[in-house]
Structure formats: structure tokens, C-alpha cells
Chain A
Amino acid sequence: MITVRDLTKTFVKLKALNDISLSFQSGECIALLGPNGCGKTTLIKVILGMVVPDTGSIEFKGQSILGQWQYRNLIGYMPQIGRYPENMTIANVFEMMKDIRRDSRRILDEDLISSFNLNDLMHKKMHTLSGGTRQKVSAALAFLFNPDVLILDEPTAGLDPLASERLKEKIASEKEKGKLVLITSHVLSELDDLITEVCYMQEGQLAFHKKLDDLKAETGEDKLSKAIPQVLMSQSTLI
């Protein structure tokens, strides 16, 4: 569904993405992992068209996305740090987004608004919200338009355990519907029962991209948090 070829992006001196090629299929739930500053967020932003790559191409459903915008109708994006116009209320933000995306004619999915109890907070201005509540707003917005692709950047960071559990349930149920879900996270333990594939990035390069089952079989480990260090060690000995 999304194919990335030979992607390179340099920020001043830092090589954020170095010749990355990847492809993601629908129905999969992919974990994008790697140390801080390895280019995960940059990769996501390139897919969303927020960052313009130096070289390389991205195809969404077989069509190049460079200079395109319609394809974003099919994407729900939850940013790492949700930034919203400060003097709008939550209700204003939801109304504005519904208004902007009205053309996409999708059935609205308001499950998360109710399961996060956001309805009681609708009159609050964005600048009065706590970090966790902002995250809830971001998550609810990402799922609201029932998109085919969900891109979640650190979705559970800052959420309380209850909310993070509800979000995980929601992600699992969307995956069942055959959607493509792309998650970055540093909390490996919560990804175990959610994901089907693992992409590991290091210093702007792709270290590996494997099915979770293959990964577990190769390493003989059942937990992601143990399997990944093993693969990395075996790779470094090969080099």
C-alpha cells in the first residue's frame, strides 16, 4: 500500500534518512523502532508530505505522492506532540477538522471521543489542556475519519494506563478491519500482542524489516524486548 524507495533526507549536516527502501501492506500492523533521533519521525513526516525528501520516491496505492494531497484523505495521523491553535476549544478543533475533511465522505468514528470521555471537556481551550488530554485529542482525531492508514507516533506516551489500554484495543480492532497501522514506540512490551511486523532503524538506515513471527522463530524469544537486542547483536557480529 505504501512503498518507499531510496529515500534520503539531510537536515543541514545531519543525515536523517539514508537510502531507505520499505514497503507496507494493508492489514498489517507495523512497529517502527529504533533509538532516539534515528529518523522514525522524519520517515513518517516524509510519508505525510510534511517534509520534502532530497531524493527517492514514495508511492501510496501505486501513485507517487510528491506534490499530491488527496491521498491524505486516507490517512489518520497522530503526531508525537500534538500542536493545536491555542485559543480554540476542543469542540472547535473537532468541528474544524470535520469541516476540512468533509469532502472525504467517510463515516465518522467517534468511539475514542466517548471512551476517553472527551465530551465532558469539549468547552475547554487547547492551551489549558494537560499533555495527556492533548494526546487523547490527537488520537481521537486520527481515528475520527475512519482512514485506511493509521500513522501513530508514540501513541501511548503521556496517556494514563486506562486510556492507553483503550487506545490499544482500538488499534487492535482497526487492524482486524484490514487497515494498515504504523506505530512508533519505545515501550516494547505493549507492542507484543499488537503488531505483525517490525522495522528497526538506526542512524537513518534500515537495520531490518521482518515479520514478528519470523523474528520470534529466529531468535527463539517470545518477547519483543528480548528478541530485538538478539537480532542486533547477531547482525553486528556478521559485519
Chain B
Amino acid sequence: MKKILKYVMVDILQNKIVLIYTFLLLLISLSVFNLESNSAKGLLSLLNIILILVPLICIIFSTIYIYNSSEFIELLVSQPLKRKSIWISLFGGLASSLSLAFFIGGGIPILLYHADSTGFMMIAVGLFLTVVFVSIAMLAAGMTRDKAKGIGLSILLWLYFSLIFDALVLFFLFQFQDYPLEKAMVCFSFLNPIDLARIQILLQMDISALMGYTGAVFREFFGNEIGVALSFVGLFLWILFPLLLSLKRFNERDL
């Protein structure tokens, strides 16, 4: 397993796209922190960029990478290797190299300009989102053999988690605005890893007061250690579940 992981890592790190992604993140983070007079404001701007950019790059890059490694996978499957270790190595290689890219591009500037608990939370959340979206990409790429369909599917998934889900929740809220939905909102937030990440950061920043009564419910649920732990368990399940599902499909797949 370690051997394959090594080849996948070397191959990805040689890829210029990951380098460009790192520099892009670095450029954005540094300029955001330098433009804003207050580093807390900078962190908030950075949050919005990270919540859009990180999932997008991770899911698209991983999907394309898996399709492009089809030859590599085919070669490995005919060798004395477990299918499971091939697939997990692919996931491990993608997740660790993209996490490294995020840590260098986003993590280091945050540590330089805003190294407090909010900053650490932001780095943790960014790393989790990276791995979650690699895992979702593995699932999307495992669903179909057609590259165009697979990439289309992963773009749709990104769109769903970034925009459509929130629109649906808003629609739901307006339809049922006569009912108390604060508790339901907490449950809904577990259905979307990006929302989980956003809520964690906003609560850390102590601007939940802006969110009214829902904010207070969020504060009550997520604001303590158990809530933080639960939301990280939620993010962890978002990594585990798509990965296991894709692994099951890969084990049954004909090559």
C-alpha cells in the first residue's frame, strides 16, 4: 500500500495544477490579509473564498485525476495487489497532496496573520473540506466509466453543496416560517459539509448574534465542546461514507 501511495504522491506533486492551486491560495490569502486593516475581517473574507474554492478545486481535480489514472489502475489490478489498497492509496495520495497544498497556500498565511483559535479552526475546517471533497470525487468517478459524465456529475455535486442546498433550505424556511424550525436547521446543517464548516467558523468568530434566534440555537448546540466534536464527527462521516461506497463499487467493477 505504501508503495502505490508513493507513486501516486510523486505523480500528483509533479502535476503543475496542484502547484498553481497552492500559489493561487497563497496569493489570495496574502492579499486578503494585506487589504483589510483588521486581520479578523481578512479571515472572514478568506472564509468565503475557501468555502467556494477549496471544494471546487478538490472535487474537479480529483475526478479528472482518477479518470486519467485508468491505465495505471488497470496495470495495478493485474498485479499481486489488493484492489482495496489500490483504491485507498489513490484516495490517500490525492487527499494528502491537496491537503498539503491547502496547508501551504492557506494555512501558513493564516498562521502568520491570525494565529488564534479561530485561525486554527479555519485550517482544520479547510483540511477537512479538502478530504471530504476528494472522497466525494472518488464516489462520482466510480459511478460511471464515461469521463464527461463523471466530471459533469462532480460539478453538479459541487453546485449542489455550494448553492442549491442553501437555496433549498431557504425555500423550506420560507414555506414553513410559521413553525419553529431552529432545531431542524441544526439537523439540516449536518447534510452539507460546507454548512458544517461555515457554522463552525462563524461561531468561533462570535458573530452568531447576527443570525438572530437561529444563531442562538446554533450557539447553544455547536458552541460547546460536544457540539464542536459532533460537527467534526459529521465531517468525518462525510469522508468515510462516500469513500466506503466508492470502494465497494470499485471492488465489484470490471476493468
Contact = CB atoms under 8 A, between A and B. Distances in A.
Interface of A: 11, 45, 48-52, 69-73, 77, 79, 83-87, 96-97, 99-101, 103-104
Contacts of A11: 254
B206 interface: no
B72 interface: yes
B71 interface: yes
Contacts, number: 57
B255 A69 contact: no
Contact of B80 (A52, A73, A83): A73
A45 B80 CA distance: 14
B78 interface: yes
Is chain B's interface secondary structure helix, strand, loop, or mixed overall?
Answer: helix
Contact of B74 (A49, A69, A83, A99): A83
Contact of B79 (A86, A87, A100): A100
Contacts of B81: 69, 72, 100
The contact size tier of chain B is 20 to 34
Interface in B1-55: 3-4, 7, 11, 14
A52 B71 CA distance: 18
A72 B79 contact: yes
B248 interface: no
B254 A51 contact: yes
B63 to A, nearest CB: 18
Nearest to B74: A83
A79 B76 contact: no
22 contacts: A48-B78, A51-B254, A51-B255, A52-B252, A52-B253, A52-B254, A72-B80, A77-B78, A79-B78, A83-B70, A83-B74, A84-B72, A84-B75, A85-B11, A85-B69, A85-B71, A85-B75, A87-B14, A100-B76, A100-B80, A101-B79, A104-B80
B4 A100 contact: yes
Given A85-B11, A101-B80, A104-B80, A45 B255 contact: yes
B254 A50 contact: yes
Contacts of A72: 78-81
Given A50-B77, A84-B71, A84-B75, A69 B3 contact: no
